[in-house]
Chain A
Amino acid sequence: MSNPVELKNHQREIFNFRFRLAISIGFVLLLLVILLLRFIYLQALRHDYYQTLAESNRISIVPIVPNRGLILDRNGVVLAHNYSGYTLEITPSKLKNLEATINELSALVEIAPRDRKRFKKLLAESRNFETLMIRNRLSNEEVARFAAQQYRFPGVEIKARLFRDYPYSDKTSHLIGYIGRINQTDVEQLEENELAANYRGSDYIGKTGLEQSYESELHGATGVEQVEVDSAGRAVRILSRTPPVSGNTLVLSIDAKLQEIAEQSFGNYRGALVAIDPNNGEVLAFVSKPGYDPSLFVDGIDPESWDELNNSPDHPLNNRALRGQYPSGSTIKPFMALAGLYYNIRSPGRAISDPGYFTLPGSSHQYHDWKKGGHGSVDMFKSIVISCDTYYYGLATELGIDNIFSFLSRFGFGKKTGIDLEGETSGLLPSQEWKMKRYKEKWYAGDTVSVGIGQGYNLVTPMQLAYATTTLANNGVGYKPHLVKEVRSSRNNENRLIEAKPEFDMKLDPAHLDLVKRAMAAVTQPGGTAAQASVGASYHIAGKTGTAQVVAMKPGEKYDASKISERNRDHAWFIAFAPAEQPKIALVVLAENGGHGGSTAAPIARRVMDYYLLGKVPKPLPDLPEEEVDQHD
């Protein structure tokens, strides 16, 4: 240090410190004086002004909740709308004895045990000073009866409110979703996104489905009313009003009638169906069966109904189309065949001889074909038509897992499709890297063999498979699938079209595509695995059947549907597009525990295509035929 170090003079230092302290005291005094002046300004000089604001003209700022936007199908059929009705509401913080009040109320208005339970649940979740609904959809008579007695019930009131209604109920529940009361998590989320102001006064928010993913379009802008209230807080007159702006209307690409037919075609089967227009990615039908009644959720579901839905073995709350992950089974074969052609592993004409099983070099383990004794000589075309397993065991082995992974991921396997719904799962397209990460184990040649026929590690969602089928139908040009076609603004009647633009082009060889598509068309012809699907059809259907195992079978064990309990039966797949030459619709059908794709899933697809292409409304379902012999997939 260049400066001479000197010990400081203690006295001087104390003096310096006290000087600084005196300045600090002056600073604090200054702050106090500023506050004092401010108080004098507000409370003495401007008191009259604020007194007027607060006392004689108490201005209350009342939010006006906008009407939620409608949801329409592509033809204008209403899938979600609002209707007005009366509710009976209680503000618990204004009541002394809640239980007694509810008991007294039940003498005037019917209050079912279910209403009480729901109210209790709302009460437990509510914030301070909140008004909670005890009964909705009051009849006019009930409204009149209560109105006459209202003076006896301070803190209880009747409110006219808009309710959300879903005309198609469980048929569109997984697609439209539902709105529900705003809870603490929603509040935090809104505050985080700086949206809390626009939700003042709003009680509902989209919870699942399109109601959730398009919340920002549907909600609308909250209006403000400056209201003069008297000393008891009652509104006296409106001073100014900024009207709310209703939410935008969503026009879906879904065809409600098609959706209904698809849903009904499942009969008693659980499962999923996704139909897409391959020319633009518009989703035409989106079914997950069984559905549930979304109106149960709108005003808070009572615990009993919730348990019933949640514990049902049918899992009605599970969105199978979007979130269900299943082995793809043989539906993967057309894509595998394309991979074989793409990497030049198999030429179309090369036939293998199928003894009914496949062995890896240097191993005696037999991978069985579904048909005992095999299919004889099988080339690529035939391998798709009859769904020969042995052919694909060999093809996958020759391709190797790395090529399979890279080719199939271009079709969107193992990735979310990006459809405009939240909560999509990404399925699983296995790779060496994945297995090392997941199981800390290297990839074995045997793993590749089962991937070849869509078993083993691989998992797909119906949505994904539909996307891949659409891309195949459209010759490798992919359109991102979407449910909303158009957003109609309520503000200026402007329509925003969701544009369909190709996301990618795989640049596949037309000759390869032609072979695979022709083979798929032959699948629905006599000799193919889904022959009965096109009996009497006036157009050509290209398709592929598949079976997803629910329980793994021991080696050598024969699958016998009759011996296996219904829930453990195989899932049936069918992917298809039609007309095969110039596809207008591509779809995937999954029938859980449906057994064979050809006999259970394909007829569902046929009904949907008949309606979409020919306008043919199917007759009510006959009992589904039991599966015939020698029919796999």
Chain B
Amino acid sequence: MTKRQLWQRFIAQLDLPLLAGIGLLMLTSLLILYSASDGNWGRVLGQSENMLVALLCMWAVANLPLHYLMRTALPVYLLGMALLVCVALFGEISHGARRWLNLGVATIQPSELMKIGVPLMMAWYFEKHEATLTLKNYFIAALLLLMPIALIARQPDLGTAILISASGFYVLFLAGLSWRVIGTLFVAALASAPVLWSMLHDYQRHRILMLFDPSQDALGKGYHTIQGMIAVGSGGIFGKGYLDGTQTHLDFLPERTTDFIFAVYSEEFGLIGNLIMLSLYFFVIARGFIITANASTYFTRLMAGSITLTFATYAFVNMGMVSGILPIVGVPLPLISYGGTSMLTLLLGFGMLMSIETHKNLVKT
């Protein structure tokens, strides 16, 4: 085999347009991180390592034939549920929330696993009952979603609970949940809002209230919102220029390399930069939808659709939070924020998308 052939075989299962979009976002990430960390190469290198590991995992998943992917659904879901129960029983408490499980070797956050596990399980379940779908099946699928959500919301980890709810809801929606049920759920959700409000933790209510008046808590969480909005707004049309963001470099912005990295970008590259970034995201999302539309089985259609929509939701929630239209829920900007865990979860999802695209001709229904 020549080098060229080897290379071709290596990338055979990758979806090149999708990979290009991801790659561009990743390069942007490194660029912003360098500025956000005040020229700290350690952060940039650390993020590169995270990306490399995640890309390798993505490659492995992309090479996984679809029936293998389906077979992982039940074990992954059950493992995730078992771990969530363990967290509830003897998880470690940190920052007032019980989210982590100490395995002796490493501390893990099982809710991350469920970001993939829940839609995977639901799509698998629908595939199994595809021929005879009734309302009962939707009900059971909803239960599959609600059990982990309840456990995660109790930790409490509202951000993750909302995102997983969204990814599960997308599966239900794409699986054809009737409009009437969706309408009823919507009304029910509105009606139960006061009840939910009373169940929220004080700090969670606080964050939502602050959205309406950030100056209420100028030293605490409101500070994040105020400084984020100032950074974005002062960026203007063309931005202040790379490495010239005053909000960033005069220490005004909190969590610059993680949840608020978008503010750094927005301040330095302005509205034009934001348009470019939205386009990049839209490119990746659009490619995801194309893969979804071409997917060959019920399972892959649901899975691909949910992955793509969830990715879009992540991006929206983070940018909305930084620009002050959503409460601060601690969701990183996908593919850009510093951090290994979210990078890995996202790229596992993209690996599945690629596998769905490149293996579609092997399984035809």
Q: Which residues of A contact B (CB under 8 A)?
A: 1, 3, 5, 7-8, 10, 16-18, 20-21, 24-25, 27-28, 31-32, 34-36, 38-40, 42-44, 46-47, 49-51, 53-55, 58, 60-61, 63, 93, 129, 188, 191-194, 196-198, 200, 222, 224, 229, 231, 233
Q: Which of the listed residues B233, B246, B309, B312 has the most CB atoms from chain A within 10 Å of its own CB?
A: B233
CB-based contact A61/B218 at 8 Å? yes
Closest to A62 in B: B219
Chain B interface bracket (under 10, 10 to 19, 20 to 34, 35 or more): 35 or more
CB-CB under 8 A from A53, the residues of chain B are: 230, 233-234
B132 interface neighbour in A5, A188, A192, Cβ under 8 Å: A5
Q: Known contacts A42-B323, A44-B271: does B278 contact A36 (CB below 8 Å)?
A: yes
Q: Known contacts A3-B134, A53-B230: does B316 contact A188 (CB below 8 Å)?
A: no
CB-CB under 8 A from B305, the residues of chain A are: 21, 24
Q: Which residues of B contact A (CB under 8 A)?
A: 38, 93-96, 130-134, 170, 173-174, 176, 202-203, 217-220, 223, 229-237, 246-247, 250-252, 266-267, 270-271, 274-275, 278, 281-282, 285, 289, 292-293, 301, 305, 308-309, 312-313, 316, 319-320, 323-325, 365
Closest to A2 in B: B134
Closest to B136 in A: A1
CB-based contact A28/B312 at 8 Å? yes
CB-based contact B247/A7 at 8 Å? no
CB-based contact A192/B96 at 8 Å? yes
CB-based contact B230/A50 at 8 Å? yes
Q: Which of the listed residues A8, A42, A44, A197 has the most CB atoms from chain B within 10 Å of its own CB?
A: A42
CB-based contact B319/A35 at 8 Å? yes
B230 interface neighbour in A54, A193, A194, A224, Cβ under 8 Å: A54
CB-CB under 8 A from B271, the residues of chain A are: 39-40, 43-44
CB-based contact A51/B234 at 8 Å? yes
Bound: A191/B235 CA distance, A: 31
CB-CB under 8 A from A25, the residues of chain B are: 289
Closest to B250 in A: A233
CB-based contact A197/B220 at 8 Å? yes
CB-based contact B274/A43 at 8 Å? yes
CB-based contact A47/B237 at 8 Å? yes
CB-CB under 8 A from B229, the residues of chain A are: 42, 50
CB-based contact A222/B246 at 8 Å? no
Q: Known contacts A16-B176, A17-B176, A55-B246: does B293 contact A24 (CB below 8 Å)?
A: no
Report, nearest first, the 5 A-B pairs whose CB atoms are least far apart: A50-B233, A54-B234, A197-B220, A42-B233, A43-B271
Q: Which of the listed residues A21, A39, A196, A222 has the most CB atoms from chain B within 10 Å of its own CB?
A: A39
Bound: A17/B176 CA distance, A: 7
CB-based contact B234/A28 at 8 Å? no
What's the least CB distance linking A16 to chain B, in Å?
Answer: 6
Q: Known contacts A21-B289, A24-B309, A50-B229: does B274 contact A39 (CB below 8 Å)?
A: yes
Q: Known contacts A54-B247, A231-B246: does B282 contact A32 (CB below 8 Å)?
A: yes
CB-based contact A24/B233 at 8 Å? no
CB-CB under 8 A from A39, the residues of chain B are: 232, 266, 271, 274-275, 323
CB-based contact A36/B132 at 8 Å? no
CB-based contact A222/B274 at 8 Å? no
CB-CB under 8 A from A24, the residues of chain B are: 170, 173-174, 289, 305, 308-309
Given A8-B130, A194-B202, A196-B220, 17 other A-B contacts at CB below 8 A?
A1-B132, A10-B365, A24-B174, A24-B308, A42-B232, A43-B237, A43-B274, A47-B233, A47-B234, A51-B234, A53-B230, A54-B246, A58-B252, A60-B252, A194-B96, A197-B219, A224-B218
CB-CB under 8 A from A93, the residues of chain B are: 38
CB-based contact A18/B293 at 8 Å? yes
CB-CB under 8 A from A198, the residues of chain B are: 219
Closest to B304 in A: A21
CB-CB under 8 A from A18, the residues of chain B are: 293
CB-CB under 8 A from B232, the residues of chain A are: 39, 42-43, 50
Closest to B235 in A: A43
CB-based contact B230/A188 at 8 Å? no
Closest to A24 in B: B309
CB-based contact A50/B234 at 8 Å? yes
What's the least CB distance linking B262 to chain A, in Å?
Answer: 10
Bound: A222/B217 CA distance, A: 13
Bound: A44/B230 CA distance, A: 13
What's the least CB distance linking A624 to chain B, in Å?
Answer: 51
Bound: A25/B203 CA distance, A: 34
Bound: A233/B252 CA distance, A: 10
The 24 sampled A-B contact pairs (Cβ below 8 Å) are A16-B176, A20-B176, A24-B305, A31-B313, A34-B316, A35-B319, A36-B274, A38-B323, A39-B323, A42-B232, A43-B233, A43-B235, A43-B237, A43-B274, A44-B271, A47-B236, A50-B233, A51-B234, A53-B230, A63-B219, A129-B251, A194-B203, A229-B250, A233-B251
CB-CB under 8 A from A192, the residues of chain B are: 93-96
